[in-house]
Amino acid sequence: MAAQRQQRARVAARLHLHPQTVRYRLRRLKQLFGDALDEQDTRLDLILALRAESLREPDSSGR
Helix residue ranges, H only, 1-63: 2-15, 19-33, 40-55
pTM beyond 0.85, yes or no: no
* pLDDT tens per residue, range 6-58: 888 999 999 999 999 999 998 998 898 888 888 999 889 989 998 999 898 77
C-alpha 15 chain-centroid distance = 11
> By C-alpha distance, which of 12, 32, 13 is closest to 22?
12
